[in-house]
Amino acid sequence: MKPLILASASPRRRQLLHEAGVAFTVIPSNTAEELRPNESPEEYALRVAWEKAQDVAARHPGSWVLGADTIVAVDGLVLGKPKDAADGLRMLRLLSGRAHHVITAFALFNDTGQVSDHQWVASHVTFKTLTDEQIRDYLATGEPFDKAGAYAVQGLGAALVERVEGSYTNVVGLPMEEVLAALGAVGILPEND
């Protein structure tokens, strides 16, 4: 079995890989996540995922490294994690009653520090129309503050969502069908119980 490092501190990504039976260790990346001028949401997510994997691969030669980044995109705007309650309120008001895309990109680096696979996956999410009271109540739970777009589809934020089209696990933080295909193609397979 090839050793795999997940270059992410995300508990959601850890849970998805664990539930799929993939053996891995976690070493978070120190990569800054800042949008560059004229960078599309897809380009941004893919670049950050690549940089996260590359950062950890450079520090741990001989290991396979999986980096990922999830963003919410609406009207060409990239919504990352809210800075504070006011930012979360702004984001959730923007998403209220509308559709948006959740884009998760991943990059898999091999044991020689070269990229083996990288891609992005988009899911289409439609929100219910929310009142400011509903938004403030959700923000008061604390759940939105480490989530792109200020919500967690797998948590209390599920109550905000009308529907998800495309990969649900992508919205959670890792497009598992594509990630498992990439891992399987290089012989990193889920463990059998």
Interatomic CA distance for residues 77 and 75, integer angstroms: 5
Give Dmax (Cα) for the chain: 52
Interatomic CA distance for residues 12 and 57, integer angstroms: 21
How far from chain centre, in Å, is Cα 34? 15
Three-state DSSP at 172 gives helix
Residue the block writes with tokens 């741990």: 60
Interatomic CA distance for residues 171 and 123, integer angstroms: 7
Residue 34 binned pLDDT confidence (cut-offs 50, 70, 90): confident
Question: Using one digit for the tens of pLDDT, what is the confidence trace for 60-90?
Answer: 999 999 999 999 999 889 998 899 999 999 9
Q: What is the pLDDT of residue 1?
A: 56
CA distances for 85 relative to 48, 72, 141, 143, 178, angstroms = 25, 17, 11, 11, 34
Indicate if the pLDDT at residue 189 is higher than 80: no
Residue 127, token pair as written in the block = 């929100």
The CATH architecture assigned to 4-185 reads Alpha-Beta Complex (3.90)
Q: What is the mean pLDDT of residues 183-191?
A: 85
**Enclosing H/E stretch for 57:** helix 41-59
Q: What is the pLDDT of residue 61?
A: 92
Q: Are strands 4-6 and 25-26 parallel, antiparallel or unpaired?
A: parallel
Question: Using one digit for the tens of pLDDT, what is the confidence trace for 85-94?
Answer: 999 999 999 9
Q: What is the pLDDT of residue 193?
A: 44
174 in Cβ contact with 68 (< 8 Å):
yes
Residue 42, token pair as written in the block = 């897809």
Domain coordinates of the chain in residue numbers? 4-185
- Of 55, 69, 87, 146, catalytic: 69
Percent of the chain exceeding pLDDT 70 equals 98
| Catalytic (active site) residue 117 | no
